[in-house]
Chain A
Amino acid sequence: MLEVRDLFKTYENKPLLRGISFSVSKGETVCLLGASGSGKSTLLRMIAGLEFPESGQFLFNKIDLAQTPPHIRDFGLVFQDYGLFPHLDIFNNVAFGLKMKILESNSSLFGMSRQQAVGLQSRVTEMLELVNLQGFEKRKVTDLSGGEQQRVALARALAPQPRLLMFDEPLGALDKSLKDDLLNQIRTILHKTKIPAIYVTHDQDEAFTIADRILLLHDGEIIRDGTPDEVWTNPNSASAARMLGMGNVIEGMVISANKVKTEVGTLTLNCKHKHSKNEKVSLLLKQSPSPSGRGVRGEVEIKLKVEDVLFKQNQFEVKARGAALSGEAVSKGGLVIHLKDAPKIGQIIRVKVQVECLA
């Protein structure tokens, strides 16, 4: 339905988005995951028509949106800080979009027919029920809690039956328990209404919970596009793996067909693509689920020197550095592994890990 093509945008003369392309199909929830300041919100505002890219295209149902002003696009928008109208009560906030539609369709400038008024009333009631806020019509915006305000914002965006819903960090201002609640509510509503949605967040848990598809935005580019499962099992690049905080990413140098020299030792691996000699590769080290587990494919033993040990309830978090090389090619932040028993600081330990090739 929505297609974004080759989008470029600068912010204060620095490139913000560099060639973004993706599409959202019917009933699909696409989640855009990126750090704050990565241009996610700008991207949303451009889709809404509130800002303009330097170059690139937006198509909806194959129709270019360049000439469509925001109020005709029918794209709903939900902000992090709600953006509710403080001068209107809850009813009139939710009814706002509907009223605009009626004004647009009415030939007369003034008022609406009785029938339209009744329709408006029932639609608002229906929307408030959908977000579990029945009976809130006459309340003031400022009297509601953050979670309630966000649900009103959701009802307001849903009321005029938008062709696309966009969420800009909708749960960013809420605390944890409210977050989970509302996230599930949004998920249910999106599934029920089948409205395609773009959900922008920097919170990985949120993204993986709600998304049908995840786009990772890094340095102005989409570095990974796939279902949550695909993205998690195969991040495909070092920066994606780092962004998702998947574990230890280390660099190594290819020394022969399938041998890589790294700080934790020389590893054997079978990458999909062939690497030439002396090429640098990034590897993702995933600790095996059970430290003593046997027969897991691709599992190798690495050597580490313990630098710090932290007690974490049922296990120990161990910070360590590769012990195979000295000085060169040592990873920046060190490695973090989890052990049942606490090693001594300075001790050399051997740990079994799975090694994955990152492009």
Chain B
Amino acid sequence: MQTNSLNHGDTETRRNFFLRAFASPWFFHVLLWLAPILFLLSYFFLPLSKILILAFNTSALTKANFQLILPIVSFTFYQAALSTILTFILGIPSAILFSRFNFRGKPLLRALTAVPFMLPTVVVASSFNALFGNHGLFSFMQSISSSFILHPSSFSLILTAHVFYNTTIVIRIVGNALSRLDPKLEQSARSLGADTFHVWKNVTLPLLRPSLLAAALLVFMFDFTSFGVILLLGGSNFSTLEVEIYLRVLKLPNLPLAALLSIVQLIFTLIFSILYTRIISQVTAQTNPRFSASRPPKTPRERAFVFTLYALLITFFLLPLASLPIRSLTRLEADRGQRGEVQYGFTTDYYEELFINRRGSLFYVPPIQAARNSLGYASLTVLLSLALGYPAAYALAKPTRLEKFLDPLVMMPLGASAVMLGLGFIFSFGRALASPFFVPIAHTLVALPFVIRTLQPALASIPERLRQAAATLGASPFRVWQTVDFPILSRATLSAATFAFTVSLGEFGATLLLTRPEYPTIPIAIQRFLSQPGGLNFGQAMAMATLLMLLATLAILVIEKLRLSDSGEF
């Protein structure tokens, strides 16, 4: 009896031990992290290490390579700096406009300026092509009227597209800081004898400095790593780090050089990110959410400022976006096989052509197949990123010491460029890349940080009290999840899913390196159409880009709607 009871006690303690271990937050969190970490290890850190190994190989670290890299780095800096300055020239007045003044249509105008940032790069590049490109609306107008002289260079198009993309960042960061600035500080300064200039110099500017720096750094970072816009608007003439990596993989193969370039790029983006996190912490430390000093413009000068900028912003943001669908429905070419007058008029040819599998065309399938591929990849990306993002977000919502260490790791893919991800896959998986599944995996890597950051606050916002209350009312753990967590999470989940979907739809850099010719996605199809001569190819690119724009806009609307009703409720 005695031994029995001892034994019994023993198994009891052993069972208790396992139960306790299972219930301990540590063990539970390790379980949660298992899948996401395995995924990141095999699809991010392994490829990264392959790139590192190749980059620090003797075949990469040659004098000739360094001589090649230097002008590329300096051109990348040059175009990014120039783009940033131009973005600020438009962004600062716009930030003042949105933070200081109230006028009719303000929310709509603000939304309009934010749209490009959320659109896929291929759509933005196609829009600029539709307007300014060789087959664009502007060059057509030039051909019928010689008084119309405007032929922007590719480089100025790239810069303009960057401004188009990133102005919203300046508006958001600097504008927020401006509207959170206590108006009493400026009033105090004025009553203490400071004129308008000295108020700016001694009060406003120093207080805005962190926000200005943060905005500048972020814009610079986006311009520095810009790929789709530069490749599609400039061709291979403009070698930034990103473009050069792509060229050294597919056009002038030199993989060690490509590896070295991507490490250089990674180092720079890391430096920028570290600087950015430092500055942004100052911004959040300073912000004061109490003030909103916007009012209708009063003096004639204020009215002129508001009106001029309003008109400028509408034109600048609406013109490219509108010309894409317009161009996709406009015939602007000579008849097939004829070298005659340019015919123009309304046409749906470009759309119809997407459904036809022509011999000698760019694809082995009707081009519209690209849309089906894109949708398939996007759905897989949604499933995969939610499956991996959920456990990670759950763990991050109740951080232990483990999460402090893991959180930056999970966010690391953000710092790597898409082209670099593609390159890493090529090094790591070689022939296996024939499988189409690597594309959604790469997309998931890009989308995962966003998905986690969307789910995590929602998960953290559920008070433990609610779960406990449900449990004391007789709900099993599953029921607790079903009745408490799920309703609160469904909105965040939908938002995260849409995010992942949009990312996958628009992803260009990694897909370009990984995609199989017979499985093109929409962005890849657009790129192929654009890189071919002929009005029909151009028109099909426009039609395809319009489709993508519609899909992306729909997704943006869903996300915005979810966010709006969110803020309304809480």
**B411 an interface residue at 8 Å Cβ cutoff?**
no
Q: B184 near A: Cβ within 8 Å?
A: yes
Q: How far is the CB of A127 from chain B (nearest CB, A)?
A: 13
Complex alpha-carbon distance, A81 and B189, angstroms = 15
Are A75 and B206 touching (Cβ within 8 A)? Answer: no
| 10 A-B pairs with C-beta separation under 8 A | A48-B187, A49-B190, A71-B193, A77-B188, A83-B188, A84-B188, A85-B203, A85-B207, A103-B198, A160-B192
User: Taking A79-B184, A85-B185 as contacts, is the C-beta distance between A97 and B193 under 8 angstroms?
Assistant: yes
A87 within 8 A of B: yes
Q: Which residues of A contact B188 (CB under 8 A)?
A: 77, 79, 83-85, 153, 156
Inside 8 A of B191's CB, which chain A residues have their CB?
48, 50, 70-71, 73, 75-77, 157
Closest to B298 in A: A52
Among A50, A101, A153, contact of B193 (Cβ-Cβ < 8 Å) = A101
Instruction: Tell whether, in the assembled complex, residue A86 and residue B194 are in contact, meaning their CB atoms are under 8 Å apart.
Output: no
Instruction: Indicate with 1 or 0, residue by residue over A137-178, a CB within 8 angstroms of chain B CB atoms.
Output: 000000000000000010011001000000000000000000
Q: List the B side residues contacting A45 at CB < 8 Å.
A: 187
**Chain B positions within 8 Å of A70 at CB level:** 187, 190-191
With an 8 A cutoff between CB atoms, is A96 at the interface?
Answer: yes
Task: Return the CB mask of B298-327 against A: 1 if under 8 Å, else 0.
Answer: 000000000000000000000000000000
A104 at the B interface (CB under 8 A): yes
Residue of B182, B184, B192, B206 touching A100 (CB-CB under 8 A): B192
Interface presence of A74 (CB below 8 A): yes
Scoring A70, A73, A86 by chain B CB atoms within 10 A of each residue's CB, the highest score goes to A70
Interface presence of A69 (CB below 8 A)? yes
CA of A156 to CA of B184, assembled, Å: 14
Could you say which of B189, B193, B202, B286 has the most chain A C-beta atoms within 10 Å of its C-beta?
B193
What CA separation (Å) do A115 and B465 show in the bound complex?
66
- Taking CB atoms, residues of chain B closer than 8 Å to A103 are 198
Kindly state the separation between the CA atoms of A296 and B278 in the bound complex, as whole angstroms: 75
Q: With a CB–CB cut-off of 8 A, which chain A residues contact B206? A: 87
CA distance A84 to B187 in the complex (A): 11
Q: Which residue in chain B gives the minimum CB-CB distance to A100? A: B193
Give the CA-CA distance A155 to B313 in the complex, in Å: 45
Most buried by A among B188, B189, B198: B188
Q: Is the CB of B192 within 8 A of A156?
A: yes
Residues of A with C-beta under 8 A to B10: none
Interface residues in B176-213 by Cβ distance below 8 A to A read 182, 184-185, 187-195, 198, 202-203, 206-207
Instruction: Quote the shortest CB–CB distance from A167 to chain B (angstroms).
Output: 12
Q: Which of chain A's residues 82-96 have a Cβ closer than 8 Å to chain B?
A: 83-87, 96
Minimal Cβ-Cβ distance residue in B for A81? B184
Assess whether A50 is in contact with B187, with CB atoms less than 8 Å apart. yes
> Which residues in window 116-143 of B have CB below 8 A to A?
none
| Chain A residues within 8 Å of B182, by CB | 81, 83
Interface size classification for chain A: 20 to 34
Please name the residue on chain B nearest to A77 by beta carbon: B191
**Most interface-central of A73, A76, A96 (chain B CB within 10 A):** A96
**Which residue of chain A is the closest to B205 with respect to CB atoms?**
A87
Question: How far apart sit A93 and B555, CA to CA, in the bound complex (Å)?
Answer: 50
The distance in angstroms between the C-alpha atoms of A73 and B192, with both chains bound, is 9
Q: Would A104 and B207 count as touching, CB distance under 8 A?
A: no
Residues of the A chain whose Cβ atoms lie less than 8 Å from the Cβ of B190: 48-50, 69-71
Contact with B along A98-109 (1 / 0, CB 8 A): 001101100000
Closest to B203 in A: A85
Task: Please determine whether B187 and A97 come into contact, CB atoms closer than 8 angstroms.
Answer: no
Given contacts A79-B187, A83-B184, A100-B193, 10 further A-B contacts (CB under 8 A): A48-B187, A50-B190, A77-B188, A79-B184, A83-B185, A85-B189, A86-B207, A87-B206, A97-B192, A100-B194
Closest A residue, CB atoms, query B209:
A87
Asked if residues A77 and B202 are in contact (CB atoms below 8 Å), the reply is no
- Tell me the dominant secondary structure on chain B's binding face: helix
Q: Which 10 residue pairs across A and B have the least CB separation, nearest first?
A: A97-B192, A83-B184, A100-B193, A77-B191, A70-B190, A83-B188, A87-B206, A71-B193, A100-B194, A71-B195
* A82 and chain B: residue at smallest CB distance: B184
How many B residues are at the interface, by size bracket?
Answer: 10 to 19
B residues apposed to A, CB below 8 Å: 182, 184-185, 187-195, 198, 202-203, 206-207, 286
Q: Known: A87-B207, A160-B192. Contact between A100 and B187, CB under 8 A?
A: no
CA distance A25 to B399 in the complex (A): 64
Q: Which residue of A lies closest to B190 (CB)?
A: A70
User: What residues on A are CB-neighbors of B187 within 8 Å?
Assistant: 45, 48, 50, 70, 77, 79, 83
Question: In the complex, what residue of chain B is closest to A45 when comparing beta carbons?
Answer: B187
Chain A residues with CB below 8 A from B203, complex form: 85
A69 to B191, CA, bound (A): 9
Distance of B194 from chain A, by nearest CB (Å): 5
Q: In chain A, what residue has the closest Cβ to B286?
A: A86
Contact residues in A for B185 (Cβ distance below 8 Å) = 83, 85-86
Q: Which residue of A lies closest to B189 (CB)?
A: A96
Known: A83-B182, A83-B184. Is A157-B192 also a contact (CB below 8 A)? yes
In angstroms, Cα B191 to Cα A76, docked, is: 6
Bound Cα distance from A294 to B211, whole angstroms: 73
Q: How far is the CA of A111 from the CA of B316 in the complex (A)?
A: 43
Min CB distance, A60 to chain B, in Å? 14
B208 to chain A, nearest CB (A): 10
Taking the closest CB of chain A, its distance from the CB of B211, in whole angstroms, is: 13
B-contact bits for A305-324, CB 8 A (1 contact / 0 none)? 00000000000000000000
Question: Which residue of B184, B192, B207, B286 is within 8 Å of A96 (Cβ)?
Answer: B192
Q: A75 → chain B, closest Cβ, in Å?
A: 6
Give the shortest distance, in Å, between A288 (CB) and chain B (any CB).
Answer: 48
Shortest A116–chain B CB gap in Å is 15
Chain A residue with the shortest CB-CB distance to B206: A87
Point out the residues of chain A lying under 8 angstroms from B202, CB to CB. Answer: 96
Q: A100 — which chain B residues lie within 8 A by C-beta? A: 189, 192-194, 198
Please, which residues of chain B bring their CB within 8 A of the CB of A81? 182, 184
What per-residue 1/0 map shows which CB atoms of A205-229 lie under 8 Å from chain B? Answer: 0000000000000000000000000
Q: Is the CB of B207 within 8 A of A76?
A: no
Interface residues of A in 15-45 (CB under 8 A from B): 45
Residues on A with C-beta less than 8 A from B207 are 85-87
B195 smallest CB distance to A (angstroms) = 5
The answer to whether A69 and B195 have CB atoms under 8 Å apart is yes
Residues in chain B near residue A86, CB distance under 8 A? 185, 207, 286
Q: Which residue of B lies closest to A92 (CB)?
A: B202
Tell me the bound Cα distance from A69 to B198 in angstroms. Answer: 14
Task: Give the distance in Å from the alpha carbon of A101 to the alpha carbon of B194 in the complex.
Answer: 8
How far in angstroms is the closest Cβ of chain A from B201? 10
Q: Which residues of A contact B198 (CB under 8 A)?
A: 71, 100, 103
Complexed CA–CA distance, A104 and B195 (Å): 9
Given A86-B286, A96-B202, do A160 and B184 touch, yes or no (CB 8 Å)? no
Q: How far is the CB of B302 from chain A (nearest CB, A)?
A: 13
Compute how far the CA of A216 lies from the CA of B409 in the bound complex, rounded to whole angstroms.
64
CB closest chain-B residue, reference A73: B191
Give the residue of A49, A50, A76 whose beta carbon is less than 8 angstroms from that of B192: A76
Interface string of A188-205 (1 = CB under 8 A from B): 000000000000000000
Taken together as a complex, chains A and B put the C-alpha atoms of A160 and B185 apart, in Å, by: 17
Closest to A48 in B: B191
Within the assembled complex, what's the spacing in Å between the Cα atoms of A156 and B206? 19
| Distance between Cα atoms of A97 and B203 in the complex (Å) | 12
Tell me which residues across on chain A come within 8 A of B189, comparing CB atoms. Answer: 85, 96, 100
* Chain B residues within an 8 Å CB radius of A48: 187, 190-191
Contacts of A75 in B (CB 8 A): 191
- The smallest beta-carbon distance between B250 and chain A, in angstroms, is 51
**A11 nearest CB across to chain B (Å):** 11
Q: Quick one: given A83-B182, A83-B185, A85-B203, are A74 and B193 in contact (CB under 8 Å)?
A: yes
